Structure 1
Amino acid sequence: MVEQKVLVAEDEAAVRDLYRSYLRRNGFDVVVAANGKEAVALFFEERPDAVCLDLLMPVMSGFDACRAIREVDQQVPILFLSGHDDLPSKVEGLEIGADDYVIKPISPSELVARLKAVLRRAKASDPSFMFGENCVDRIARRCEHGKKVAKLSLRELQILEFLYRNPNRVVSREELYREVWAKDSLSGSRLVDQQLLVLRKKLHGDYVIDTVYGRGYRYTAPP
């Protein structure tokens, strides 16, 4: 089996070495960077299957590195590893194209689990589907409504796919978190709301995502 390659950008050498060692023991090919600028350069050289970015790094931040990568690649999964738990940082990370925003400290085993989850969900069979009046392109990771085109992060695509497979019923925040984030925890409901806030701005027309107060979200499919 061909190893999946992961790029890890982390300015703390001890943490960087820990992630590299653990990921390699779990079957990943790992390349590491000490700052955002180095991460972007390695991305073009190595073309990894997934990217893990620390948020605050010298020379170039994780945010700027993510933007640079997303300019040329809309499909590669990007995970932020951050010690900042504030809402503005989370929203900015999701809006610029991150697929997950993980709060440090994160155990190596959880990092492996999250990477496997996003890589597993990155594979899809059908190239596109209609979500209401929006055409969702799985390959290009974007949604189109007339002449309006919006880029989608992997996490946003996963949410749309899950709601698409479960039309006309209320899906709780906990269920979305469990199915899309691959974690079983009540603490993820706030992260779900943040992701839906960003995603809704990219959808147009009728038959999008309704909030059912106190219960969750519902996608009402066209008749």
Structure 2
Amino acid sequence: MLVGKVVAIIDDESKIRDTIKSYLQNEGFDTVEGDDGVAAVKLVKNQTVDLILLDVMMPNMDGFQALREIRSISRKMPIIMLTAKSEEIDKLLGLEMGADDYITKPFSMRELVARIKTVLRRSEPDSTEDPDELIIRGPIEINLNTYEVKLNGTLLSLTPTEYKILVTLAQKPGRVYSRLQLMNSAMGEAFANYERSIDTHVSNLRKKVEKDPAHPEFIHTVYGIGYRFGENT
């Protein structure tokens, strides 16, 4: 249920905040606002927020700095970066730092709402899954009910996208998934044109679950195709 979810709109341009606020409220969302990265961090610390729209270019503390601070507080907070830059390096930097998605200005309100709904849905456990089901692959334990992942008994902090990718791969060890298949599973068909960003999410995931990310034991690359989870784990 997405109605009543609280979206934080962090942008230094008041007209943009007002436009997004009006549209989101008409869609049934509640909103809070901030005009720089410092405000974003304070909101995460002091208020209940379900998703953050975080502009990149802002005074005092820019979006990348705020993203780093927020991720030190919460790895699971859904974050969508708003950027006027279209360079691929900026998009990948945001993903590498833990953003769940990005959208380039100017964007349509309809597309923005679709992105928000998709990120929020994948940040919640799948209600169709067995509430008592565990996926155990060697030292990795995934609880599909509590949305928790443990490695050797230690709780990991995964972003919603990383969690969905890991679940998809771990449910069927040995099966090869293309980047497009993983993108559809983790982010939905609307993101098919962004399938190369899966590489960044997988790289981040490996840093959390592999002893040596350069020589992965669990998440293997199938060159020219995509990824698979090791069969012997």
Q: Deviations over 1:154-210 (max 9, x none)?
A: 211111112223432221111222221113454212211222222222222665122
Q: Does 1:153 align with 2:154?
A: no
Q: Secondary structure at the match of 2:170?
A: helix
Shift of 1:53: 0.4
Aligned to 2:36: 35
Question: Runs of 5+ in structure 1 lacking a partner?
Answer: none
Shift of the 87–199 alpha-carbon distance from structure 1 to 2, 3 Å rule, reads: farther
| In 2: Cα distance, 1:57 partner to 1:91 partner | 19
Aligned to 2:119: 118
Aligned to 2:220: 210
Shift of the 18–221 alpha-carbon distance from structure 1 to 2, 3 Å rule, reads: farther
Cα root mean square deviation, aligned: 2.7
Shift of 1:3: 0.8
| In 1: Cα distance, 2:162 partner to 2:143 partner | 12
Aligned to 1:144: 151
Aligned to 2:5: 4
CA contact (8 A) 1:36 1:65 kept: yes
Q: Deviations over 1:66-102 (max 9, x none)?
A: 2222222232211112233444433432333222233
Shift of 1:37: 1.1
| In 2: Cα distance, 1:221 partner to 1:81 partner | 39
| In 1: Cα distance, 2:160 partner to 2:167 partner | 11
| In 2: Cα distance, 1:192 partner to 1:163 partner | 13
The TM-score normalised by the length of structure 1 is: 0.84
Aligned to 1:182: 188
Shift of 1:143: 4.6
Q: Does 1:222 align with 2:232?
A: yes
Shift of 1:130: 3.0
Aligned to 1:162: 168
The structure showing larger relative contact order (alpha-carbon pairs under 8 Å, at least 6 residues apart) is 1
- What is the one-letter code of the residue matched to 1:54? D
| In 2: Cα distance, 1:70 partner to 1:84 partner | 22
Aligned to 2:27: 26
Q: Where do 1:128-139 residues align within 5 Å?
A: 129-136=135-142
| In 1: Cα distance, 2:157 partner to 2:96 partner | 10
Aligned to 1:82: 83
| In 1: Cα distance, 2:133 partner to 2:79 partner | 21
- What is the one-letter code of the residue matched to 2:40? A
CA contact (8 A) 2:142 2:167 kept: no
| In 1: Cα distance, 2:133 partner to 2:92 partner | 28
Shift of 1:140: 7.5
CA contact (8 A) 2:80 2:99 kept: yes
Shift of 1:141: 5.6
Which deviates further from its counterpart, 171-180 or 21-30?
171-180
- What is the one-letter code of the residue matched to 1:165? Q
| In 1: Cα distance, 2:148 partner to 2:85 partner | 27
